[in-house]
Structure 1
Amino acid sequence: MTPNPAEPALPTAHVLVLPGWLNSDAAHWQSRWIGRHGYHRLEQDDWTWPRRGDWMARLDEVLVATHAPVVLVAHSLGCQLVAAWAEHSRLTDRVRAALLVAPPDTEREDMPPQLHNWRPVRRGRLPFAALAVVSTDDPYCSVDRATAFCAGWGAPVLLAGPRGHLNGESGLGDWDEGHALLRTLAAGVRLALPG
Structure 2
Amino acid sequence: MEIKVLTAPGLGGSGPLHWQSRWEQSIPGTLRIEQSDWDTPSLNNWINKLEAAISAAGPQVVIAAHSLGCIALAHWAQQTHLTIAGALLVAPPDVERPDFPEVAASFNPVPLKKLPFKSILIASTNDAYCSLERAALLAKHWGSSFVNAGAKGHINADSNLEEWQEGKDLLSELVHNRVTL
Do both proteins adopt the same fold according to a TM-score greater than 0.5, normalized to the shorter chain?
yes
**Aligned-pair CA distance for 1:141:** 0.3
Deviations 1:106-159 (A, max 9, x none): 000001111111110111111010001100110000011111111111001100
User: TM-score, normalised on structure 1?
Assistant: 0.88
- Cα offset, 1:190, TM superposition: 2.8
List, as ranges, runs of 4+ consecutive aligned residues in structure 1 with deviation greater than 3 Å: none
Counterpart amino acid of 1:135? S
**CA distance in 1 between partners of 2:91 and 2:141 (Å):** 15
* Secondary structure class of the residue paired with 2:85: strand
The answer on whether the counterparts of 1:18 and 1:72 sit within 8 Å (CA) in structure 2 is yes
For residues 184 and 129 of structure 1, the distance between their equivalents in structure 2, rounded to whole angstroms, comes to: 10
Residue 76, structure 1, aligned to residue 71, structure 2? no
Q: Give the alignment partner of residue 23 of structure 2, picking from 33, 39, 42.
A: 33
- 2:36 is matched by which residue type in structure 1? D
| Distance (whole Å) between structure 2 residues aligned to residue 141 and residue 67 of structure 1 | 31
- Please, what is the CA RMSD of the aligned residues? 1.6
Query: Which residue identity lines up with residue 66 of structure 1 in the other structure?
Result: A
Which sections of structure 2, spanning at least 5 residues, go unmatched? none
**Residues 11-50 of structure 1: matches in 2 within 5 Å?**
14-38=4-28, 39-50=30-41
Aligned residue for 1:151, secondary structure, equals helix
> Which of these residues, 41, 55, 58, is aligned with residue 46 of structure 2?
55
Pair member with larger Rg: 1
- The runs of 5 or more residues in structure 1 that have no matched partner are 1-8
Hey, what does 1:184 align to over in structure 2?
A: 173
Return the alpha-carbon distance in structure 1 between the equivalents of residues 58 and 41 of structure 2.
27
Partner amino acid, structure 2, of 1:31: S
| Matched ranges for 1:130-169 at <5 A | 130-169=119-158
Q: Which residue number corresponds to residue 172 of structure 1?
A: 161
1:76-110 alpha-carbon deviations (Å, 9 max, x no partner): 0011011000000111x2x0010000000000000
Q: In the aligned structure 2, how far is the partner of 1:136 from the partner of 1:104? A: 13
Decide whether the 8 Å contact of 1:98 with 1:131 is kept in 2: yes
Q: Equivalents in 2 of 1:124, 1:72: separation in Å?
A: 18
Q: Is the 8 A contact 2:4 2:175 kept in 1?
A: no
* TM-score normalized by the length of structure 2: 0.95
Identity rate, percent: 40
Q: 1:105 is matched with which residue?
A: 94
Residue 37 of structure 2 aligns with an amino acid whose one-letter code is D
Contact 1:106 1:119 (C-alpha < 8 Å) held by counterparts: yes
Give the secondary-structure state (helix, strand or coil) at the position aligned to 1:88: coil
Cα offsets for 1:41-61 (capped at 9, x unmatched)? 000001111111110011111
Counterpart-to-counterpart distance in 1, 2:59 and 2:79: 21
